[in-house]
Structure 1
Amino acid sequence: MELELNTSNENPIYSVTDITRQIKETLERGFPNIMVMGEISNLKLHSSGHMYFTLKDDNAQISAVMWRNRVNQLLFKPVDGMKIIARGNITVYEPRGNYQLDCFQIQPVGLGELQQAFERLKKKLFEEGLFADDHKVPLPEYPMRIGIVTSPTGAAIHDMISVLSRRMPSVEVILVPVKVQGIGAAEEIATAIDMLNEWKQVDVIIVGRGGGSLEDLWAFNEEIVARAIYRSEIPIISAVGHEIDYSISDFVADMRAPTPSAAAELVVKHQNELIELIRNFCYTMISSMENAISSHRQTVESLIQSYSFNRPQDLLRQRSQSIDDLTRRLEQSVNHYLEFTKRSVESLTTRIHALNPRLVLKRGYAIVRQNGSAISSATRLEIKKKAEIEFYDGTAVATIEQKEKKKNV
């Protein structure tokens, strides 16, 4: 059995392209500038800058796209799970035959959604210890160079420069220009903080912007900014919005300022205050020097009035007399020692002289030697051998014929 197709004019045959184009025209003409509420899922930010995502509710879903020029104008960062209202047109992507919502504006459903995201991140970072006081460091008392991370065209930078110039004209300001709202703003702020830390040439950093809605300030509630502030080795002041505005950056930073102008006032002392401090130091130094000089002057005056200072000659005479007395005692001791030594020498000389063998020979004694040795006993003489006899005035040689030992010796 064959199926026959009715090709009459009542049932024309369309090509895929033709039918898709007609569907496209029907949908795009039928649903212009509509608003759709749903939850974001499968969000992807393409390298081209275009943003693709799905809007869904409990029963259906629709693809959505937002082109780069519109993404750059967003005041907040869309994330998966965020409930939004998207305004746009229904379009058909012909190559795939898919219909999608071409968004030209999206916004969170009320402030509740952003506030919930704020509270979730706040709780998470608190539990991780990013708000701990023991991690915060004091600001330098007299910074010479201040880094500022903010928009180069906003009122905040002009206010801060005005305050700094008025309070401390000598301070140097290093501006790192960044976006402060919209897609990519948080990444730029975090990168700027990291860059100043790598440079290591500023003493303190101010991160902030002027006031605005919660959506406007959202970049300073991003986790990437909070973590950049936390890892900064340079003290950071967070100055976001007005006094009533609190951001995640305020909780992580080393100090919060209610406004950018207030941050500029906190970071430097007024030059008049510093001048007054220097004056006080000078007064204290001069006073201390005057007191020291006065004390030493009194000491000198006391010395001048003393007996020793007024009677130097008497002191010199007493010292001179003491020296003379010591000299006399020294001379006496030396003379006594010399006299004693002289007598001892004379006594020793007399004794040595008395023991001189020459003097003994002079009294009639003689020294007998035989075989080169002095003979002290007759028994030691050898008969028939020559002996040398030494007298006082000469020597004689004799031959020993006989020897005789005395009795009782």
Structure 2
Amino acid sequence: MPSNQHNDDLLVQSDTPHSVTVSELTGHIKAILEGTFPSIWVAGEISDLVRPRSGHLYFTLKDNDSQIRGIIWRSTASRMKEPIKEGQSVLCFGDVEVYAARGSYQMVVRKLQMQGLGPLQQKFELIRAKLQSEGLFSADRKQSLPTQPRRIGVITSPSGAAVRDFLKSAMQGMGGVEFIVIPALVQGVGSAKSVVDAMKAAQRISPPLDLVVLTRGGGSMEDLWTFNEESVVRAVANSKLPTVSAIGHEIDVTLCDLAADVRALTPTAAATTILPDAKLVGQTVSDLRRRLERAGRSIITQRVDRLNQLESRTVFRKPHEVIHNRSRQLDELDARGRRAMFAKLQLSKAKLQSAAASLSALSPLQVLTRGYSVTVGENGKAILDAKDVVPGEIIHTRVHQGEIKSVVQD
């Protein structure tokens, strides 16, 4: 048996065919392909347009059935009169080349003529104009996201890379958050209805969710078309829960992005958008604690200083001294009051004596002291004329000392 095994090994070695390396094979294909096709005009629709910082343009040129990768070098792109756009129908002139590093073929475009928007892009613009006129994209109707969500619904394909990227990034955020993955088809036949049903299911989950994230990975416009369907866009816009749209890559813009309350550029960005960073929150809490401690110490210091000031006051050091001072002030005020009252009485007395003297000087009785007298009749009126009396009438004469009663004879 060992002998037979040895013979088999020799047979295999002797029958081994001549082989070529992958690079050699790719080189043969490159030579044949590029030698067969001269420079050529190709019509198609721009999709998956990427504009890196290098200035080159990378895109997919497609029609209803097929597609080919295209590239416009920076030197050619800088001479273009107007920039190309996603979904635009164009005529491209260039050469078909093989990109050996990936074993793929592509078209290097040297000239490009605009032909307008492709059918899919035209449909996109029509739906967007219709929904925009209804106000579905208005900023006034958008809801604010909760600052500390605890239950988050994620509508996506459970087997896709988007949910893994989202959850991986979310785990770096705040803890204690519950994620409920709501399965849905995100591409192909029946995907629009699946997403709409998932949005309705998210509204019915109990306990209620704090917000809903709608996400999937990147792709061409056809791959992402589910999220441009009118029914899906309306379901997102009419959601009672705050919605976050994280569809595709940064360059991919769908109508769901416009209808959602918040658009995240990628699934990973969605996680960082809705969840505060744990380290940042911890740092904020530490800063607040330090500020609170400083404020507490400052208030305590102020209160101690205030107590020390109060303690140093005389009213607390010698409380009886205040009473004695007040008693002394009261005695002084009493003495001042008495002196003021006595002075007032003396002044009033002097004024009264002066008024009495003035009144006495004007009194007719004062005249009697100088030897004069006043005679009145029986009616009590002063007799000024002898004719005012008759014989036999009794008259009264008032002298300085006493009164004389007389009978008129003549």
TM-score (norm 2): 0.50
TM-score (norm 1): 0.50
